[in-house]
Structure 1
Amino acid sequence: MMVEIFMVTRERNCRTIRCVTSPINQGSIAFHQRMGFSIVEGNATVEGVSVQKNYDGRGQDRVLFVKEL
């Protein structure tokens, strides 16, 4: 599925894909990294991962990813 998303993104002349997940979702973090996404440096660290504090509201920290195509 992600490969298809990458193809459609390129076809539409987009060059950047961004994703978001919870810092406790280690499976999602590992998946995104395997797909070539980089973790965007945040303003805090949770569970050893850089996060953006309060991204989804108070106490809702998130891991941000980016992939340049």
Structure 2
Amino acid sequence: MSESVYTVAGMTCGKCVDAVTTEVGRVAGVRRVEVDLGSGEVRVTSDRPLTADEVSAAVDEAGYELVTR
């Protein structure tokens, strides 16, 4: 298992959290997605290490922006 933490900008409500959770959860190999609305932190547990591009595309599909660390 692999765990990664990302920051997402633009989330303001529970529906935002649901959208990001759903789209990131659709990435191949993702087992769990935890989103903290207050901090914008998204913790992803997956079968394999994910690329930033995979997660960024999913976050973009949800209508938000992955913040580059």
What TM-score does the superposition give when structure 1 sets the normalisation length? 0.34
Higher strand share: 2
The structure carrying a bigger helix percent of its residues is: 2
TM-score, length-normalised on structure 2?
Answer: 0.34
